[in-house]
């Protein structure tokens, strides 16, 4: 009987192990992290690959996308520190909050809207807030 209990516990652990590794939180954070890493080395083709079809259509090319990030989101292009905060659902949208410190030491809360695509999670937009704007 003891062998069956141990076997059952092992099976239960195996059944829950992969589910945690594939959690939306981890997958979403990985996509955002990989995009930020691509921005840090000016690899706009790779950074653009994490964008949703709507964002790709809006900007049309990795170069235009990169220019927009450099001028409009410098804290994403060259962050000093990146820390993930909460993941939440807002009116049917999935939003990942990310706290970023830029090169001057200023803090920003970035709210990444994420959408599920054929190849996994994609970034559908980013709203920048100062920490006081969100209570962070």
Residue whose C-alpha is closest to residue 101's, from 114, 115, 90, 85: 85
The residues pairing with 115 across neighbouring beta strands, listed in sequence order, are: 122
What are 59-95's pLDDT values in tens digits? 999 999 999 999 999 999 999 999 999 999 999 999 9
Longest dimension (CA), the chain: 66
Per-residue pLDDT tens, the chain, 136 aa: give them.
554 444 444 344 444 444 444 577 999 999 999 999 999 999 999 999 999 999 999 999 999 999 999 999 999 999 999 999 999 999 999 999 999 999 999 999 999 999 999 889 999 999 998 776 554 4
Q: What is residue 95's predicted lDDT score, i.e. its pLDDT?
A: 97
Contacts of 106 (CB under 8 A, 6+ apart): 75
Q: Which two tokens stand for residue 30?
A: 């990985």
Q: What is residue 35's predicted lDDT score, i.e. its pLDDT?
A: 98
Counting DSSP H helices and E strands in the chain, the numbers are 7, 4
Q: What is residue 1's predicted lDDT score, i.e. its pLDDT?
A: 53
Which burial class, exposed, middle or buried, applies to 20 when counting CB atoms under 10 A from its CB (0-12, 13-18, 19+)? Answer: exposed
Task: Report the C-alpha dihedral over residues 80, 45, 69, 59, rounded to 10 degrees.
Answer: -160
For residue 127, the Cα-to-chain-centroid distance in whole angstroms is 13
Q: What angle do CA 101, 83, 117 make, to 5 degrees?
A: 115
The count of other CB atoms within 10 Å of the CB of residue 64 is: 13
Q: What is residue 23's predicted lDDT score, i.e. its pLDDT?
A: 72
Q: What is residue 118's predicted lDDT score, i.e. its pLDDT?
A: 86
């Amino acid at each position: 009987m003891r062998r069956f209990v141990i076997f059952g516990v092992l099976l239960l652990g195996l059944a829950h192990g992969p589910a945690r590794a594939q959690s939306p939180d981890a997958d979403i954070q990985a996509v955002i992290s990989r995009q930020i890493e691509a921005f840090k080395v000016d690899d706009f083709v790779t950074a653009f690959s994490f964008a949703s079809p709507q964002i790709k259509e809006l900007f049309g090319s990795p170069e235009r996308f990169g220019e927009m990030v450099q001028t409009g989101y410098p804290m994403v292009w060259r962050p000093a520190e990146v820390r993930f905060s909460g993941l939440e659902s807002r009116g049917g949208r999935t939003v990942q909050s990310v706290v970023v410190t830029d090169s001057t030491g200023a803090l920003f809360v970035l709210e990444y809207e994420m959408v599920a695509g054929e190849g996994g999670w994609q970034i559908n937009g980013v709203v920048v807030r100062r920490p006081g704007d969100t209570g962070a």
